[in-house]
Amino acid sequence: MEYIDYLIDNIYITVGQNTFRQIIGIPMGTDCAPYLANLYLYAIEYAYLKDLMSTNLHVARQLSMSYRYIDDLIMFNSNGLMDEHKTKIYPPELILNKENKTDHNATFLDINININDNNKITTSIYDKRDDFNFTINNFPNLSGNIHANRTHGIVISQLLRYCKICNDANDFISRSKIMMDKLTNQYFIPNTLRNKVSNFYNKYYHIVQKYNLSKLKMINAIFT
């Protein structure tokens, strides 16, 4: 506890010739930061729900439909319940910003969640970098001194992530095509990229089969 107390109270940031002491929040970038954030939020959430269970069990059960990943929170069928209780759960210095504009669409981490007119939930990729008005190089550039075989391995992991998130084949193809175009512009080898997609299809067919696409059709759609 003494070490944690010292860490939080001695956070200094240097910008140019100026040194600033951080007085709100915990140090980002340190190994312990996610654990400290999770423990802190869990403690205050648990305390609030424990008291609420003794006074209003119905509302406590409704709040149990909320899920949090560090500081990102999502809640289903809340009907404005979180707006009513958030200032009671969290301290005033912790401000909750509602990011979804409608009750039928929201983003959580890298997932875009949408409820269509038939009340069916569909999910697709959300990447906040798409909202920026400048280019972000989030993949390696092989014009440098980088091992080509190892860097091409990121293709399968990204395709797997896209496939798990995207319900619709068109969303999966669209996002995969964006990645392949970017990698090609960063000197990745086109034939190797096609082979990686083929390997992905063979290895994870039990996940890919939901799209009802043959391997050839998927590869051609991604690379055209």
| The three-state (H, E, C) secondary structure of 135-154, written as one string | CCCCCCCCCCCCCHHHHCCH
Summarize the chain as % helix, strand, coil (round to 5). 50, 15, 35
- Average model confidence (pLDDT) for the chain? 88
> Residue 140's pLDDT band (boundaries 50, 70, 90)?
confident
Q: Which of 44, 75, 98 is the last residue of a domain?
A: 98
Decide if 21 is inside a domain.
yes
Domain that holds residue 150: 111-222
User: Which residues have CB under 8 Å from 72's CB, separation 6+?
Assistant: 108, 109
Decide if 103 is inside a domain.
no
Asked whether 89 and 48 are in contact (CB, 8 A), the reply is yes
**How many domains does the structure of the chain reveal?**
2
In angstroms, the CA 79 to CA 42 distance is 23
Asked whether 211 and 172 are in contact (CB, 8 A), the reply is yes
User: Which residues have CB under 8 Å from 116's CB, separation 6+?
Assistant: 104, 122
String of DSSP letters for 21-86:
E--SS--TTSTTHHHHHHHHHHHHHHHHHHHHHHH-HHHHHHHTTEEEETTEEEESS-TTHHHHHH
Q: Tell whether 50 and 117 lie within a shared domain.
A: no
Order across the sheet with 105-108: list the strands.
105-108, 111-115, 121-125
pLDDT of 48-71, one tens digit each?
Answer: 999 999 999 998 888 888 899 988
> Residue 83's pLDDT band (boundaries 50, 70, 90)?
confident
pLDDT of res. 117: 84
pLDDT of res. 202: 95
- Kindly tell me if the per-residue pLDDT of 26 is higher than 80: no
Decide if 131 is inside a domain.
yes
For residues 125 and 82, the model is more confident at 125
Average pLDDT for 168-183: 93
In angstroms, the CA 108 to CA 104 distance is 13
Q: Which of 55, 74, 98 is the last residue of a domain?
A: 98
Closest CA to 42 of 108, 5, 4, 90: 90
Q: What are phi and psi of 112, to 5 degrees?
A: -100, 120
Decide if 105 is inside a domain.
no
Decide if 104 is inside a domain.
no
> Residue 177's pLDDT band (boundaries 50, 70, 90)?
very high
> Residue 100's pLDDT band (boundaries 50, 70, 90)?
confident
pTM of the model: 0.77
Q: Tell whether 81 and 123 lie within a shared domain.
A: no
Q: Tell whether 85 and 120 lie within a shared domain.
A: no
pLDDT of res. 101: 83
Asked whether 48 and 55 are in contact (CB, 8 A), the reply is no
CA torsion sign, 56 to 62 to 67 to 73? negative
- Kindly tell me if the per-residue pLDDT of 28 is higher than 80: no
> Residue 96's pLDDT band (boundaries 50, 70, 90)?
confident
For residues 104 and 162, the model is more confident at 162
Decide if 106 is inside a domain.
no
Q: Tell whether 93 and 133 lie within a shared domain.
A: no
